[in-house]
Amino acid sequence: MRKYIIKRLIQSLIILFFVAFIIYALMRCLPTSYVEAMARQKSMQPGSKSYEEWLAQLSAMYNMDGSIVSGFFQWLGQMLRGEFGDSWKWTVPVTQKFHETVWLSFVMGLISFILELIIAIPLGVIAATKQYSKTDYAISVIALAGISLPTFFFASLLKLVFSVKLGWFDLYGLVGRNYDLLSPMGQFMDKANHLVMPIITLVVISMGGLMRYTRTNMLEVLSADYIRTARAKGLSERKVIYHHAFRNTLIPIVTIVGGSLPGLFSGALITETLFAIPGIGFASYQSMVSGDIPFSMFFMVFTAILTLLGNLIADILYAVVDPRVRIA
Amino acid sequence: MSEKEIKKPSQVSGENTEKKEEYSLSDDRRVKVLSPGALVAKRFFRNRLAVTGMVILIAMFVFSFIGGLVSPYGQDEKFYRYDIQTKDYAGIIHNEEFRYTVGDKDLFKSTVQAQVFLNIQKGNEKFDYKGTTYELEKISDDVYIIHCQGKVVGIASKEMVNSSSNEEKSLSFDMTLASLTAKAKGDDSFTVDGKKYTLDEDGVIFNESGKEIGYVSAYVVRPIMSDVFFTREFKNQLIDAVERGDESFKFTDDNGNEAEYILKYDAATKAWDVKQGTATRVFDTYASPSKEHWLGTDRNGMDMLTRLMYGGRISLIIGFIAVAIESIIGVIMGGIAGYFGGWVDGLIMRLVDIFYCIPSMPLFIILGAAMDAANVPPMIRMLYLMLILGFLGWAGTARLVRGQILSLREQEFMTATEAGGIAVSRRIFRHLIPNVMPQLIVVMTMGLGSTIIMEATLSFLGLGVRFPFASWGNIISDVNDTYVLTNYWFIWIPAGILLLVTVLAFNIVGDGLRDAFDPKMKR
């Protein structure tokens, strides 16, 4: 087991190395006018250095003067030492901005993830136990609709109904207009109020996949021999489903849930942007659109690490949870 | 698919009903034989949900590809409407006070005029002022003639005499006197300096040759701007409108420009403000649904329904091309990896891992922003979008194809192809890939849905398809304006519903196809 984990870790590191290289190379291949435009913009700011100085500094800072390969290794070296540079857009160190935003995204992601589990898994189980019934069709269609729903359209509909027509929530932002006047409890409630719509969006968009996954796996388990045995020996249907079948369905579910845990840190780029929630997703969107290379690079490498970590956790959990799986 | 099994279902059923009894139990013709393809189709069409999805997809294709041809409007045809912009034009007062026309400057000063007013109020016919005696001759309630030292020095009247010609701003005193007198007495003609003039009911003065030279009226019309001269006709119409109590009237000037004039009575100053409304051609933006535009018009005054049709076309084409690119790369890479195994497999699968790991959404956003910075033309941009979407999405397809081929290549028919000495490329692409087709078609159908969503999301953020091209995503992006979100449902709700329904239909059809291809997998 340990050998397997070490092997996978090394493999992941190699993949990460190449992913980082591709990202770096793409950034370098962007039109050169990009850095120039940045330098021009920066030199426009009052009391700033001249355009040439900025250009030289930015080029040196991002090792733009050397070749792509040498520049990449320099950048990699800096990254390994934890130096991600200063964000152009936020004018603070990248890591500082990251700390400011990531926890909000994590809280939002965690709440919606828990809600998603609470809703999707029972519905998936119900759909599987009542296969081909009306309930099953309804749940399947809802799951498919959730997958097919474009985030931005659903968010706009929510805004129209709950913000414009009913006036329950604000259209944008994390805090209301008179946030500073509120008591600590009021401030907490204000933030919670602003997070309701983004969380609903996230839950509705993402629960479809898990629902279908649960249903498929539950059906597979229900057709297994040991379920027939359980029924044959006269157990109640309740006991068969919730004691024998559901526990076995949990194996793939735990795997996929564990695998998606790291993803909670990467934020919800589109949803946060739509609701202007200042989490990591929104911050990185703004950085990317305004050509903030240090922050974008950091965010993309960070996301890649999370993806790899997720895969790793899923594979390891698979072996840990299911005693039938043995890894040499 | 073996050749002998193909028979038309209708023929088969026809034979069955007619000759059922004739066949013996062991007769092959009793058995309805269907090709695997027909079996798949039969299973697919038995699934009502999947058929619904199929119908929706066909409807969407008709809407997008044929609708654009049927629609009377073009993709970027702009519509205009006339918007009336008003500006202050004139003021008009009905004169209720005496106004004085001066005949002799020395004897009829403004102080005397004040005295005249007082004495008219008192009803005196004569008064003294600073040692001079003035006589008031009453012609009517509205017109008094002031005599002094045996001659006429001035007139006090509520009506005024205006000149009709542009050159002379006012008529001579004698003329004024004579016409006011005639008007007050109700005469229709008078003589001044031996010339005869006629006066009609409206108070218009004509000379002998019938030319209009002036008019008598109780209304005072003054222009707001100094360079405007009002024609007699305009004043007539204006006064008519005032007397009728109309709120607006139309008037065409000598140059043929028609304009609408809006009258507004101001009780405080007892005057009417006249506003000139000039029609300006503007884009017919955010027009509500009507007969001409079933779904209204958008921000640029373009027909919404037509935009939706062209938008659907672009969304679908981008989806198809992107999925085609990712499938081609995926099948080639997956096929090679699965067939050869060993280090080739290892290499390609690590490449797949790397592509799997590249965060696609951030990458799209950065590339979109970079294209913005480089001012890439919209058409080229769309091409790039398809290429990028396709090139980043092949990893999943490659993984699927490889997995299938790994199990297929161990089967007997592959040993047979090897024994038969068939070339490697032929073995992969003629014997292995067709067996992967079912799974591939399912994945492609589902992939179409997600690619369309991805494209729409990018276009919504303004980083994908750009104006003047329409796409469902960039049509909805108007919602970013909260006013549109609140007031113009017809701009974004139809596009969102089309998008949702199309993607849903692709997913349902993909699901149905999977069930049909592999009944064992039906769950």
Who's near B400: CB < 8 A, 6+ residues apart?
A: B330, B334, B436, B439, B440, B443
pLDDT for the residue numbered A62: 65
The number of distinct structural domains making up chain B is 2
Predicted confidence band of residue A327 (pLDDT cuts 50, 70, 90): low
Predicted confidence band of residue A95 (pLDDT cuts 50, 70, 90): confident
Q: Is residue B353 part of a domain?
A: yes
Q: How far apart are CA A269 and CA A282, in angstroms?
A: 6
SS3 B478: helix
Q: Are residues B298 and B411 in the same domain?
A: yes
Please give the helix or strand (H or E) that residue B366 lies within, else none. helix B360-373
Q: How far apart are CA B491 and CA B267, in angstroms?
A: 44
Q: Is the pLDDT of residue A117 over 90?
A: yes
B118 in contact with chain A, both atoms CB, cutoff 8 A:
no
Q: Is residue B67 part of a domain?
A: yes
Comparing CB atoms, the residue among B356, B362, B500 nearest residue A153 is B500
* HSE-up (13 A, CA, CB side) for residue B387: 8
Comparing CB atoms, the residue among A30, A137, A159 nearest residue B485 is A159
Q: Are residues B272 and B304 in the same domain?
A: no
pLDDT for the residue numbered A4: 85
pLDDT digits (tens, 9 = 90+) for B44-86: 888 888 899 999 999 999 998 888 888 888 777 788 877 777 7
pLDDT digits (tens, 9 = 90+) for B251-298: 777 776 777 777 777 777 777 787 777 777 777 777 778 887 778 787
Arithmetic mean of pLDDT over chain B: 81
pLDDT digits (tens, 9 = 90+) for B27-36: 777 777 778 8
pLDDT for the residue numbered B46: 86
pLDDT for the residue numbered B488: 85
Contact B366 A16 (CB under 8 A): no
Q: Are residues B135 and B273 in the same domain?
A: yes
A287 in contact with chain B, both atoms CB, cutoff 8 A:
no
pLDDT for the residue numbered A10: 92
Specify whether the CB–CB gap between B435 and B410 falls below 8 A: no
pLDDT digits (tens, 9 = 90+) for B460-486: 988 888 878 888 888 888 888 888 888
Per-domain residue ranges of chain A:
2-80, 98-321
On chain A, the residues whose CB falls within 8 A of the CB of B460 are 150, 152
A160 in contact with chain B, both atoms CB, cutoff 8 A:
yes
Query: Across residues A117-135, what is the average pLDDT?
Result: 91
Judge: domain A98-321, CATH 3.30.470.30: no
pLDDT for the residue numbered A43: 75
Q: Are residues B297 and B270 in the same domain?
A: no
B403 in contact with chain A, both atoms CB, cutoff 8 A:
no
Which ipTM value was assigned to this complex?
Answer: 0.86
Q: Is residue B72 part of a domain?
A: yes
Specify whether the CB–CB gap between B478 and B299 falls below 8 A: yes
- Residue B26: CB atoms within 10 A of its CB come to 6
Three-state SS string across A24-53, please?
A: HHHHHHCCCHHHHHHHHHHHHCCCCCCHHH
A156 in contact with chain B, both atoms CB, cutoff 8 A:
yes
Predicted confidence band of residue B324 (pLDDT cuts 50, 70, 90): very high
Q: Are residues B350 and B264 in the same domain?
A: no
CA A280 to chain centre: 10
CA angle A170, A171, A173 (to 5 degrees): 80
Contact A296 B492 (CB under 8 A): no
**Which of residues B229, B254, B282 is at a domain's end?**
B282
Q: Are residues B163 and B307 in the same domain?
A: no
B354 in contact with chain A, both atoms CB, cutoff 8 A:
yes
CA distances from B505 to A148, B142, B231, B498 (A): 9, 85, 69, 10
pLDDT digits (tens, 9 = 90+) for A251-306: 889 888 888 888 888 888 889 998 999 999 999 998 888 777 788 888 998 999 99
Q: Are residues B176 and B66 in the same domain?
A: no
Phi-psi category of B319—alpha, beta or left, where left has phi over 0 and alpha has psi -120 to 50?
A: alpha
Contact A164 B358 (CB under 8 A): no
Contact A144 B504 (CB under 8 A): yes
- Residue A97: CB atoms within 10 A of its CB come to 25
On chain A, the residues whose CB falls within 8 A of the CB of B356 are 307
Three-state SS string across B29-41, please?
A: HHCCCCCHHHHHH
pLDDT for the residue numbered B7: 44
Contact A145 B500 (CB under 8 A): yes
On chain B, the residues whose CB falls within 8 A of the CB of A167 are none
pLDDT for the residue numbered B9: 46
pLDDT digits (tens, 9 = 90+) for B162-214: 777 666 667 778 888 888 888 777 778 888 877 888 887 777 788 877 777 77
pLDDT for the residue numbered B520: 62
Which domain does B245 fall in, by range? 90-282
Q: Are residues B390 and B437 in the same domain?
A: yes
Contact B359 A303 (CB under 8 A): yes
Comparing CB atoms, the residue among A137, A144, A291 nearest residue B369 is A291
Please give the helix or strand (H or E) that residue A294 lies within, else none. helix A293-321
pLDDT for the residue numbered A204: 92
On chain A, the residues whose CB falls within 8 A of the CB of B508 are 144
A17 in contact with chain B, both atoms CB, cutoff 8 A:
no
Q: Are residues B230 and B359 in the same domain?
A: no
Phi-psi category of A21—alpha, beta or left, where left has phi over 0 and alpha has psi -120 to 50?
A: alpha
A150 in contact with chain B, both atoms CB, cutoff 8 A:
yes
Comparing CB atoms, the residue among A15, A147, A291 nearest residue B350 is A15
B520 in contact with chain A, both atoms CB, cutoff 8 A:
no
Q: Are residues B324 and B273 in the same domain?
A: no
Q: Is the pLDDT of residue A81 over 70?
A: yes
Residue A18, min C-alpha distance to chain B (Å): 7
Instruction: Give the CATH number, domain containing residue B420.
Output: 1.10.3720.10
Which one of A303-312, B39-48, B139-148, B192-201 scores highest in mean pLDDT? A303-312
Predicted confidence band of residue B10 (pLDDT cuts 50, 70, 90): very low
| Bridge pairing between strands B195-199 and B143-148 | unpaired
CA distances from B498 to B122, B475, B511 (A): 84, 11, 20
Residue A172, min C-alpha distance to chain B (Å): 10
**Which of residues B231, B262, B282 is at a domain's end?**
B282
Q: Are residues B43 and B117 in the same domain?
A: no
* HSE-up (13 A, CA, CB side) for residue B7: 15
A308 in contact with chain B, both atoms CB, cutoff 8 A:
yes
Contact B356 A307 (CB under 8 A): yes
Arithmetic mean of pLDDT over chain A: 85
Query: Across residues B327-344, what is the average pLDDT?
Result: 90
Contact B496 A157 (CB under 8 A): yes
Predicted confidence band of residue B325 (pLDDT cuts 50, 70, 90): very high
Say if residue B434 is preceded by a cis peptide, omega within 30 of 0: no
Amino acid, single-letter form, for residue A303: T
Please give the helix or strand (H or E) that residue B382 lies within, else none. helix B378-392
On chain B, the residues whose CB falls within 8 A of the CB of A27 are 366
pLDDT for the residue numbered B519: 65
Q: Are residues B172 and B307 in the same domain?
A: no
Q: Is the pLDDT of residue B362 over 60?
A: yes
- Which letter does DSSP use for residue B393 in this model? S
Q: Is residue B129 part of a domain?
A: yes
